[in-house]
Structure 1
Amino acid sequence: MSQSIAIVDYGMGNVRSVQKALEHVAPNDKIFLTDNADLINDADRLVFPGQGAIGACMQKLNERQLVDVIKQAADKKPFLGICLGLQLLFDHSQENGGVQGLSILAGEIVHFPKNELHSQGASFVVTEKTPTNSTLKIPHMGWNKVKQTQQHPLWHDIEDNARFYSVHSYYVKQDDESVVAGSSDYGIDFTCAVAKDNLFAVQFHPEKSQHDGLQLLKNFVNWDI
């Protein structure tokens, strides 16, 4: 039986690549981009992607009156957040002196510490060519291993420490450690995946992460909560 999967399109993020990746793993499902609250409410599943500045994203969500509908979806249906779609779930970001998020999960979004990220001792370095003890660049951009910190249906058929593609300068500092589903190392250990009930969100881009990224999207499509 086919299902409907809405991808929130509020004008920020490479939503077309997310749509194409989902169409690849779920060719019989109805997958569509929308900023219509009624269509989001009616969809069986919701994908919440995003790229760019959190402040600008929150402004666009408010302009389209999508804040409440996203909160409702995160509470009752299979929900996947991607990149900024993970960060926006939290209370607050340090960006631009402070920006309020959706407060679906408790915690803060903080900037990687400048000039303090070094590859020495890192267990998951973005590239094997990174010189030992070199200063790592911000934004964190490239392939990084993801350690699965809890079992979850969205990790099905994905090996622990599989590589995923990331582009970001900020990361999550959650209040509740029980929501952490995956972590990465970029000079410091940081949370790159969270899970709670029907919600799963990742800092990396599964739509850009080849086989393992497609597997994660396939797992989401088939996730029975």
Structure 2
Amino acid sequence: MSPTPLSLGGRRSAAQIEASRRNGAKSRGPVSDAGKARAAQNARRHGLTSRTVVLATAEERAAHEALARSVTERYRPQDALEEHWVARMIAALWRQTRLEIVESRLLEALIAGEEPVGLPSLATLSRYRARIARDFAEARRELESLQEQRREARIRRAVAGATPERLRRLAEHLEDRSRDGHATVGGFAVSPVRGTNEPEPGGKAPGAGGSGPSTARPGERRSP
């Protein structure tokens, strides 16, 4: 006979199991003040299956606003469609937070030997967790796809509208920024790459030291 789930006392006898069954059949729910308070709180809809966020308390509203602000600042949506997927990500993260709270209450009730009134089972919570993870992954995938399309469109517009004067200014900008080892164009980091045989400023060849072609002028001695 296998031990009862979440049992802290090891294997139980047949008489103990039968007594627990009879007591469970007669159970009228939690009897302690703390247990009754948890049951009243659990009776409120947990909201783990809905994409519509319900915020019942000022504390929940403040926590949700902080979460929404953090996610929005990270992904910076630029239009209504991107905002839609950011909102879906926020909702999934909020449901995940709620799930962890509900799971904690369920375990507390089971360990205390109380009936988990208004709470889903551990197996149901596991299914909810998988669904929430899929919803979040889908929303992030769609958002990142939209943002990548937007970046590509911006680059195409910049290239199509480039003029010789604009390209000259861009080259000067890149040269100035290359002194710091990097440059940025349109928000992208660009590392200067010298793919030609021209020497670097200062008369040193790529891969300084003794390697690389000599940059000494005619009549000058090459430094060792």
On whether the aligned pair clears a TM of 0.5, the verdict is: no
Larger relative helix fraction: 2
Greater relative CO (CA pairs within 8 A, separation 6+): 1
TM-score, length basis structure 1: 0.19
Larger relative strand fraction: 1
**Greater Rg by CA:** 2
